[in-house]
Amino acid sequence: MMPGPDTQKLPAEPNVIIESIVTTVDPNGEVNCAPMGVVWGEDEIVLKPFLETATYRNVVATGVAVVNLTDDVRLFARSAIGNPVFPTVPAVVVAGVALRDCCSWREVEVSSIDPKPPRARIDTEVVHREVRREFLGFNRARAAVLEATIHATRLHLLPAQFVKSELDRLQVIVDKTAGPEELEAMAVITDYVRSAASISSAARGGDQL
């Protein structure tokens, strides 16, 4: 007999990755902002930081984090290549901060940590939601900057020529569809990649990108 609709095994829910800025605070109150793709859920969010990062250390120490959603790709670009100080506001429920200029945020508390290297799995429960402003919608330039930013964080893993070709391809999209903020963010990433390529080339005595 064929199983009925109520007894059929449904496929597992896909792990939707949402690009966010995760803000954490260390025990001394120093804020860290890290771009991170999180496994999204309305009530639970999974963080997957590398073990050697400040995000991992802070979450282990405090048990909380804030997941910020924003359409300002400058925040992604600058936090991916450094640890800038962005304006923040106090979180509502957890002992942390949210980005002042984000669209919305989720405050989360840790429910479990799997520290298996190289990336931990941190399951969290959403304990508060806050909306600050309207999300303006999808834009190809913003998506292109996000892709470029991801490439910039993986220069030690990806072939230099591949990164160059990808940035050239993404720059075309940015030039066609960007506003001032997206152009600024893309310039931050391309300058960073070129600088890194120049240093690498000088060390090898070879050609630059």
In the chain, what are the domain boundaries? 17-131, 140-204
Q: Which pairing describes strands 31-39 and 17-25: parallel, antiparallel, or unpaired?
A: antiparallel
What's the pTM?
0.87
Average pLDDT, the chain: 91
Question: Rounded to an integer, what is the distance from CA 24 to the centroid of its chain?
Answer: 13
Report the 10 Å Cβ neighbour count for 41. Answer: 17
pLDDT at 203 over 80: no
Percent residues over pLDDT 90 in the chain: 85
Res. 13 pLDDT band, cuts 50 70 90:
low
Average pLDDT over residues 113-130: 97
Q: Are 100 and 115 in contact (CB under 8 A)?
A: no
Q: Are 59 and 38 in contact (CB under 8 A)?
A: no
Q: What does the alpha-carbon distance between residue 49 and residue 54 come to, in Å, rounded to a whole number?
A: 9
Element spanning 120, H or E: none
Average pLDDT over residues 68-81: 97
Are 17-131 and 140-204 equal in CATH topology? no
How many Cα atoms sit within 13 Å of 22 on the Cβ side? 28
pLDDT at 3 over 80: no
Tell me the per-residue pLDDT of 17-49, one tens digit each, with 9 for 90 and over: 999 999 999 999 999 999 999 999 999 999 999
Tell me the per-residue pLDDT of 50-73, one tens digit each, with 9 for 90 and over: 999 999 999 999 999 999 999 999
Res. 197 pLDDT band, cuts 50 70 90:
confident
Q: Which amino acid does the sequence have at 95?
A: A
Tell me the per-residue pLDDT of 153-193, one tens digit each, with 9 for 90 and over: 999 999 999 999 999 999 999 999 999 999 999 999 999 99
| Residue 161: per-residue pLDDT | 94
Tokens of 34: 């890290």
Res. 16 pLDDT band, cuts 50 70 90:
very high
Helical ranges in the chain per DSSP H: 54-62, 73-81, 140-152, 160-177, 180-204
Element spanning 99, H or E: strand 97-99
As assigned by CATH, the class of the 140-204 domain is mainly alpha
Res. 199 pLDDT band, cuts 50 70 90:
low
Res. 136 pLDDT band, cuts 50 70 90:
confident
pLDDT at 206 over 60: no
Closest CA to 94 of 70, 122, 61, 128: 128
Reply yes or no on domain 17-131 having CATH 2.30.110.10: yes
Tokens of 182: 């997206």
| Residue 198: per-residue pLDDT | 73
